[in-house]
Amino acid sequence: MIVYIAGAAESRARLKPVRDRVQACGHTVLSTWLDETSPNPPTLEEAYAYAIRDLGEIRTCDVLILDTFDTNERGGREFEAGVAFNGGAKRGVLRVGPSR
């Protein structure tokens, strides 16, 4: 199964071991955003390229795991979940964490 993990950028360190456990179960995780290392906010051009990349990964996945434990006001993970709900994820969305 192909999985995309959507979460807050601040959750990256906490979600990497989750990705590793999902992969250890034999699944493919396409969340390449987890491996970004720049300490600075992306430029507009970089943010656009990241968004295009992430949307492509969501459209390829079977399941999107939406992590809602950490909060922020940006709404990126919520947008990604919306894309998945609208047919991006072939088998659906699994929310992990509180309803927001």
User: Mind listing the pLDDT tens digit for each residue in 5-64?
Assistant: 999 988 999 999 999 999 999 999 999 999 988 778 889 999 899 999 999 999 999 999
Q: Where are the beta strands (DSSP E) in the chain?
A: 2-6, 28-29, 63-67, 92-96
In terms of pTM, does the model score above 0.85?
Answer: yes
The span from the CA of 99 to the CA of 14, in Å, is 19
Closest CA to 64 of 95, 30, 93: 93
Place of tokens 């390449």: 32
Token duo for residue 33: 């955003």
